[in-house]
Amino acid sequence: MLAEQLAGNLIQGVVLGCVYGAATMGLSLIFGVLRIVNVGHGAFIMVGAYTALTLFNSLGVNPILAIPVALLIGLGLGFLFYYLVIQRLIRAPELASLLATFAIGLLLEETVKQVFGSEFRGYNWPVGKVDLWVTVLPMTKVYACAASVLIAVLLYVWHRKTRAGMAMRSVVEDREGARVCGVDVNRVYATSFAVGIALTVASGVLIALFIPVGINPYMGGAFTLKAFVIAVLGGLSSPYGAFFAGVLFGVIENGSYTLLATLDGVEPFGLTRALSFVMLLVILLIRPTGLFGTK
């Protein structure tokens, strides 16, 4: 019975992990190119969740179709905040960019609170379930997993096969050398930040597909903490490493919850969260560059 439950939770963990991975790629992309840690990450995830909620409840739009809308909203927010704030902090001390992204996150949260209120919201999109014998997966979770994989593949193709992606990689390798070769470094920074934010906002739609209840202006905090653990696990500057690390994190999180639940006098949810930070400490001690990062 335990083996069957564990197998089911591991499958659920893979599906959830794909969403975690997609939710972390934007964080890793921004750090990899701009060397800026976006501590307002969770607020952009929240914006994506509200995008799906609003389009479904107000307009009856299929939540899957909210993904491209969220990408466009994310691109707009990314370019806006880059040219208004981030561009001025590229060469500033790290603390300045940390405070700036924290302030941006607070601004988004309070703006959404004023528009939608602070109460918890959700939506119901009944599209059936799939029985995998050891577990039952709602199709919404299957769609979220499939969309996460597709987004990761599209990011890889864009990053590796386009001129914009080539310019981005050249700036990461040698900013001054890229500038000498005619690359507009500021435009690359702006594009990288905007794409990173677009991925983050789109991941909010995926999270709302996976967990369509509990949407509120302050929901992003828990996902920010997990995203940092996943980003470090995968290699902080590697968006692809972040995706695979997200899958691994989802498997560990769900698997450990099942095993911890068998212990008497143990609160498995709290210990599972603590385990993620223990994992972070171990990674930093053993392999500071992460599982997929390079020096």
Handedness of CA 201, 206, 209, 212 (dihedral sign): negative
Tens-digit pLDDT profile for residues 20-71: 999 999 999 999 999 999 999 999 999 999 999 999 999 989 999 999 999 9
| Res 180 pLDDT > 80 | yes
**What does the pLDDT look like over 259-270, one tens digit per residue?**
777 777 767 777
Query: Residue 37: CB partners within 8 Å, gap ≥ 6?
Result: 27, 31, 94, 97, 98, 101
Per-chain mean pLDDT for the chain: 89
pLDDT in tens, 93-144: 888 999 999 999 999 999 999 999 999 999 988 888 998 888 889 999 999 9
pLDDT attached to residue 27: 95
**H and E: helices and strands count for the chain:** 11, 2
Counted residue by residue, the chain has a size of: 295
CA dist 246 and 229 (Å) reads 9
- CB within 8 A of 216, min separation 6: which ones? 46, 118, 119, 120, 121
Backbone angles phi, psi at 263, to 5 degrees: -85, 135
Domains and CATH numbers, the chain: 2-286 (1.10.3470)
The per-residue pLDDT for 7 is 86
Span 192-249, pLDDT tens digits: 999 999 999 999 999 999 888 889 999 998 899 889 989 988 887 788 889 999 998 8
